[in-house]
Amino acid sequence: MIVCLCHRVSDRDIHVAVQQGTNCFEVLQDDLRVASSCGCCHDCARETFDNACAAREQNACTFEAAARA
pLDDT of residue 46: 98
pLDDT of residue 59: 81
Residue 2: what are its φ and ψ, rounded to 5°?
A: -80, 125
Whether residue 63 has pLDDT greater than 60: no
Interval 17-62: pLDDT, tens: 999 999 999 999 999 999 999 999 999 999 999 999 999 988 877 6
pLDDT of residue 64: 61
**What is the number of structural domains in the chain?**
1
Whether residue 65 has pLDDT greater than 80: no
Neighbours of 65 (CB within 10 A): 9
Q: What is the CATH number of the domain that holds 58?
A: 1.10.10.1100
Could you tell me if 7 and 32 are in contact, meaning their C-beta atoms sit under 8 angstroms apart? yes
d(CA 4, CA 30) in angstroms, rounded, equals: 14
Residue-number span of the structural domain to which 27 is assigned: 2-68
Task: Pick 58 or 12 by higher pLDDT.
Answer: 12
